[in-house]
Amino acid sequence: MRPPEDCKRCALCHGRANVVMPDGDPDSPIAFVGEAPGAKEDAAGRPFVGSSGKVLTKLLEEEGLERSKVFITNTVKCRPPGNREPTQEEMDACLPCLESELENRKVVVTLGRSAAKDLLRRPIVMKDEVNRPQKITIRGKEIVLIPAYHPAASFYNRTVKESIRESIRSARTYLEGP
What string of DSSP letters covers 26-90? TT-SEEEEES---HHHHHHTSSS-SHHHHHHHHHHHHTT--GGGSEEEESSSSPPGGGPPPPHHH
Provide, rounded to whole angstroms, the least separation between the CB of residue 35 and ligand URA.
Answer: 4
Provide, rounded to whole angstroms, the least separation between the CB of residue 177 and ligand URA.
Answer: 30
Provide, rounded to whole angstroms, the least separation between the CB of residue 140 and ligand URA.
Answer: 28
State residue 23 phi and psi, 5-degree precision: -125, 165
Binding site for ligand URA (CB under 6 A): 34-38, 41, 47-48, 50, 52-53, 74
Residue nearest to ligand URA (CB): 34
Which runs of consecutive H residues, i.e. helices, occur in 103-158? 113-120, 126-129
Provide, rounded to whole angstroms, the least separation between the CB of residue 113 and ligand URA.
Answer: 11
Which is nearer to ligand URA, 102 or 142 (by Cβ)?
102
Which is nearer to ligand URA, 53 or 105 (by Cβ)?
53
